C-alpha cells in the first residue's frame, strides 16, 4: 500500500511559480499567473524550483529492500523533472512499524 500523506504539497505547480516569481521579482499575488509561471518553469527546464515541492508518503507491505530502492531513487534521481521532487518516505511493517 502507498498512502500519500496530507503534508504533501497540494498545489505543486503554483508553489513552483510563486518561488520563481520571488526569485525574479515578479508579483506573486495572482494565483493564475503563479500557475502559468510554474508550468513555464517545467517547460523551459528551470527545474530548480521543484526542490520546494514535497511528497510525503507511507509505503507499507513492501520489503525494506524495495523501500530503500524507492528512497534512494527519489533522493538521487537524474535529469527527469518529475524525479527531482523531494520525497519523505515512512515505512510500515518492513521497518518494524
- 37-56 pLDDT, tens digit per residue, is 999 999 998 888 888 888 88
Instruction: Sketch the domain layout of the chain as residue ranges.
Output: 2-95
pLDDT tier, 59 (very low <50, low <70, confident <90, very high otherwise): confident
Q: pTM here?
A: 0.66
User: Where do the H-state alpha helices sit in the chain?
Assistant: 12-24, 31-44, 64-76
Amino acid at each position: 500500500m502507498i498512502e500519500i500523506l496530507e503534508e504533501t504539497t497540494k498545489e505543486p505547480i503554483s508553489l513552483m511559480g510563486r518561488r520563481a516569481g520571488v526569485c525574479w521579482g515578479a508579483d506573486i499575488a495572482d494565483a493564475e499567473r503563479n500557475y502559468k509561471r510554474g508550468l513555464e518553469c517545467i517547460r523551459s527546464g528551470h527545474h530548480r524550483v521543484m526542490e520546494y515541492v514535497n511528497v510525503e508518503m507511507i509505503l507499507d507491505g513492501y520489503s525494506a529492500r524495495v523501500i530503500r530502492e524507492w528512497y534512494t531513487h527519489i533522493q538521487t534521481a537524474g535529469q527527469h523533472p518529475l524525479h527531482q521532487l523531494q520525497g519523505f518516505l515512512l515505512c510500515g511493517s518492513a521497518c518494524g512499524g
